[in-house]
Structure 1
Amino acid sequence: MDSKLLCQALIKFFTGLLIVGILLFIPAGTISYWQAWLLIGILFIPMFIAGLIMMKKTPDLLRKRLNVKEEQAEQKEVIFLSGLMFLAAFIVAGLNYRFRWITLPGWISYAAAVVFVFAYALYAEVLRENAYLSRTVEVQENQKVIDTGLYGIVRHPMYMSTLLLFLSMPLVLGSVISFVIVLLYIPIINKRIRNEEQVLEAGLEGYTDYEKRVRYRVIPFVW
């Protein structure tokens, strides 16, 4: 096992856990914010398990996923806007719990948690199907077009899964206001997809033909 990669992964994992906890519990003014604990559980437990599996079976893919240094200015802007969106959504969710601005019934949080876990499973399947998957927009050496499985349905199944993940997240937290904030993810990710496809069309052989075969980017028959 690559000890350096393990250390890097653990640092990122616990840093993310700490940041999410701070952003949720401090605005909430209490650690009794049960929806926050629910989100942390369904977010970080599968993440930890997936990380261990990737560490053992596909360390190169894990290394790619940990590489978040975008080179393109347009993608840096997307990451910045996404960060602001999550910052606002988490803080507002905590404040909503503290001040009871809009209270949703508990079953909505549980139903959203089911959607979240389902989306996580989709995300895991995408990782299994596409060994070239990176968190940066690039064409890798010897990369080939993947057109099987979910990639035969939509061109960007990873973004399909993250769309479900991110939109269900504020509902798990019981905050309809945060849900409205996270709707901003749609234009943000659309900007990323269009730039990504320009890169793939220019540098990945066969991608233009793939676009003709698979018409939809994210949602079948819709987008």
Structure 2
Amino acid sequence: MGFLAVYGVLVTLSTVYLLRTDKAIVERRMRVGRKSETRPVQKSMLGVIVVVSIALPVFYALDYRFGWSPVPPVVSLIGDALFAIGLGITVFTMIQNTYAAANITVESDRKVVSTGSYGLMRHPMYMGALLMVAGMPLALGSWWGLAFSSLS
């Protein structure tokens, strides 16, 4: 229940914030999926990502339910924290770079962002996603999930 609360509250708050401050980025992030991609390889990869994105949390839940790899409660809290920090980095990146779309596009008025988190690393949103992917299985009570997440 803890992970669902963290996920639900943080995603809702960040979405409401972005809708109020930069609706254009929300619209860009919503243009995603097989119809948005032009290259067959990209379309195929999206299909794999969708399947994996659904299958892994189901596996984590089954792992927790059947106790295949029990995780101490403190580790679940660490997983919640990793997920929250990763989501925070992702949202902060979108605030800094309004062109952080789901699909790569070339736009005439786009400027290279090199300040803030982009001053520390070239792709801060990937770092945020990595922390979320690492935190989710721990938050959901699965050590195995962490092993699978590290493969991605």
Fold match, TM over 0.5?
A: yes
1:74 aligns with 2:41: yes
Q: Which one has more relative contact order, counting CA pairs under 8 Å at least 6 apart?
A: 2
| 1:32-47 equivalences in 2 (<5 Å) | 37-47=1-11
Deviation (angstroms), 1:70:
2.3
Runs of 5+ unmatched residues, structure 2: none
Once residues 118 and 102 of structure 2 are traced to their aligned partners in structure 1, the CA distance between those partners, rounded to angstroms, is 17
Contact kept? 2:82, 2:134, Cα under 8 Å: no
Contact kept? 2:76, 2:139, Cα under 8 Å: yes
Match of 1:217 in 2: none
Deviation (angstroms), 1:46:
1.3
Deviation (angstroms), 1:128:
1.1
Match of 1:178 in 2: 145
Contact kept? 1:127, 1:133, Cα under 8 Å: yes
Give the secondary structure class of the aligned counterpart of 1:132. coil
Describe the shift of the 1:38–1:71 C-alpha distance in structure 2 as closer, same or farther (beyond 3 A): farther
Once residues 129 and 159 of structure 1 are traced to their aligned partners in structure 2, the CA distance between those partners, rounded to angstroms, is 14
Instruction: Name the larger-Rg structure.
Output: 1
| 1:62-211 equivalences in 2 (<5 Å) | 62-68=26-32, 69-185=36-152
* One-letter identity of the residue aligned with 2:21: K
Deviation (angstroms), 1:124:
1.7
Match of 1:33 in 2: none
Match of 2:12 in 1: 48
Question: Number of paired residues?
Answer: 149
Task: Please identify runs of 4+ aligned residues in structure 1 that moved more than 4 A.
Answer: none
Runs of 5+ unmatched residues, structure 1: 1-36, 186-223
Q: Percent identity?
A: 26
Once residues 83 and 57 of structure 2 are traced to their aligned partners in structure 1, the CA distance between those partners, rounded to angstroms, is 16
Deviation (angstroms), 1:77:
3.0
State TM-score, norm by structure 2.
Answer: 0.89
Deviation (angstroms), 1:130:
0.2
Deviation (angstroms), 1:67:
1.0
Q: CA RMSD in A?
A: 1.5
Describe the shift of the 1:70–1:78 C-alpha distance in structure 2 as closer, same or farther (beyond 3 A): same
Deviations 1:101-159 (A, max 9, x none): 11111110001111211122211210111011101122223211111111112111100
* One-letter identity of the residue aligned with 2:138: L
* One-letter identity of the residue aligned with 2:65: R
Describe the shift of the 1:98–1:38 C-alpha distance in structure 2 as closer, same or farther (beyond 3 A): same
